[in-house]
Amino acid sequence: MISRETPELPYQRVGCDILEFKGKPFLVIVDYLSKWFDLKELDTKSAKSVVRVMKETFSVHGIPEEVVCDNQPFNSYICRQFAKEWDFKFTYASPFYPKLNGMAEKAVHTAKSILRKCLESGGDLYLTLLEYRSTKLAHLDFSPSQLLMSRNLRTKLPIAKNQLRPRILETEDLIKMQQIKLNQINYYNRRANRKELELNKGDNVVYRKGVVWEPAKIKEKSNSPRWYVLRTENNKVIRRNSEHLRRSYNEPKFRNLNEEEENMHRTINNSDFMKQDLEQQGVSSENSKQDINIPQSIPSLQTQNHYQTRYGRSVKKPIFLGDKRIKKKKK
């Protein structure tokens, strides 16, 4: 089990995810140290709406150093520009592998439970969130508010005034939190039977696509652990976690591309993954524009009976259907 290190400071690393409840989208932002999460309703799931809510939240708690999230919409140009202007970095989860952002997934589960119970009982959502933030965490003597703000929050329950005074966490408290996390890792590793899959460039693999396994070839290993860049039989370049890969002894049958198609695929694939790797390393996209040639528009390869989409999928119109339509038009 590969686990992230416990942050040294509150709100140093946060996780983000979008949930939908009763047709309404919500943004969940959770702190990795204190487990404090904010639940904000979104107008839409667009990048502009997400950035607006993130700015509102960061203006209260401060700007984190790292935001762990999914690819969409956080991997959009608007979100990347926002991260550059506000001086933090996005860490994107591998496609179809939500475990990498497990903290946000757990916060989403808790938020949905709170929303459901408030809807059924007619309770106040914000009062319920206040009670959650003031309740001590399991296996710890601190609540999310104590870990984030170093103080208890006043609720409807009676409490002495001296209990509301700030109390800064000691080093021993952080060591205890790290020890609890190490115990959880050791317990998981004792029960885990799956061996780590080590692959090299050029190895033949199959990757899980829904309920089937598709052949592919390892193009390169990503900088993130257990991430691999694959080349599929349709000459698409995708990124997958080793959890979705299995070694294969069969050579993939790659589709032949003409020179114009090959240049188009090479330009698209290289620009997308190079830009993502540079963002992971904290390199500005503007500094790498000399090395990355990103086309403003992708030409569509189209003939009379053959059409190819921008992603390489070939669409052919049946000749007999075309003849019938022509005859009907002539009549």
297-312, pLDDT tens digit by residue? Answer: 434 444 455 566 655 6
Residue with tokens 């009670």: 131
Instruction: Flag whether pLDDT at 27 surpasses 90.
Output: yes
Q: Which residue has the higher pLDDT, 169 or 125?
A: 125
Q: Length of the chain in residues, anyone?
A: 331
Instruction: Give backbone dihedrals phi and psi of 121, rounded to 5 degrees, phi first.
Output: -95, -10
Instruction: Flag whether pLDDT at 129 surpasses 90.
Output: yes
- Tell me the sheet residues that pair with 69: 92
Distance (Å, rounded) from C-alpha 30 to C-alpha 44?
A: 20
SS3 176: helix
Distance (Å, rounded) from C-alpha 104 to C-alpha 95?
A: 15
Instruction: Flag whether pLDDT at 69 surpasses 80.
Output: yes
With bands split at pLDDT 50, 70 and 90, how would you rate the model's confidence at 53? very high
Residue-by-residue DSSP string for 198-253: ---TT-EEEEEETTEEEEEEEEEE-SSTTEEEEEETTS-EEEEEGGGEEE-SS---
Nearest partner of 207 among 87, 96, 91, 92, judged by Cα:
96
Distance (Å, rounded) from C-alpha 306 to C-alpha 314?
A: 7
Instruction: Flag whether pLDDT at 275 surpasses 60.
Output: no
Distance (Å, rounded) from C-alpha 106 to C-alpha 249?
A: 38
Which residues are within 8 A (CB) of 50 and not within 5 positions of it... i.e. 6 or more apart?
18, 27, 42, 73, 74, 79
Residue with tokens 């080093």: 171
- Tell me the sheet residues that pair with 29: 16, 38
* CATH class (in words) of the domain with range 204-296: mainly beta
With bands split at pLDDT 50, 70 and 90, how would you rate the model's confidence at 276? low
User: Mean pLDDT score of the chain, rounded to an integer?
Assistant: 77
Q: Which residue has the higher pLDDT, 77 or 261?
A: 77
In the chain, % of residues over pLDDT 70? 65
Which residues are within 8 A (CB) of 270 and not within 5 positions of it... i.e. 6 or more apart?
292
pLDDT of residue 2: 56
pLDDT of residue 3: 59
Instruction: Flag whether pLDDT at 157 surpasses 80.
Output: yes
Instruction: Give backbone dihedrals phi and psi of 19, rounded to 5 degrees, phi first.
Output: -120, 160
pLDDT of residue 128: 93
Fold of 13-190: Nucleotidyltransferase; domain 5 (3.30.420)
Distance (Å, rounded) from C-alpha 17 to C-alpha 41?
A: 12
Instruction: Give backbone dihedrals phi and psi of 177, rounded to 5 degrees, phi first.
Output: -65, -40
Residue with tokens 């390489």: 312
CA dihedral 293, 297, 298, 302 (to 10 degrees): -150
pLDDT of residue 7: 78
Dump pLDDT digits (tens) for 191-231: 666 666 778 888 888 888 878 888 888 888 776 667 788 88
Q: Which residue has the higher pLDDT, 160 or 57?
A: 57
Distance (Å, rounded) from C-alpha 131 to C-alpha 134?
A: 5
pLDDT of residue 298: 38
pLDDT of residue 39: 94
pTM: 0.64
pLDDT of residue 307: 60
pLDDT of residue 271: 47
Nearest partner of 180 among 133, 137, 225, 134, judged by Cα:
137
Instruction: Flag whether pLDDT at 50 surpasses 90.
Output: yes
Instruction: Flag whether pLDDT at 108 surpasses 80.
Output: yes
Highest mean pLDDT among 5-19, 94-108, 159-173, 316-330: 5-19
Vertex 259, ends 254 and 260: CA angle to 5°?
110
| Domain parsing of the chain, residue ranges | 13-190, 204-296, 300-331
Instruction: Compute the average pLDDT of residues 25-30.
Output: 94
pLDDT of residue 289: 40
pLDDT of residue 221: 79
Residue with tokens 């935001």: 67
Dump pLDDT digits (tens) for 223-262: 666 778 888 888 888 878 777 788 888 888 777 755 555 5
How large is the greatest C-alpha to C-alpha distance in the chain, in angstroms?
92
pLDDT of residue 46: 92
- On the CB side of 173, CA atoms within 13 Å amount to 15
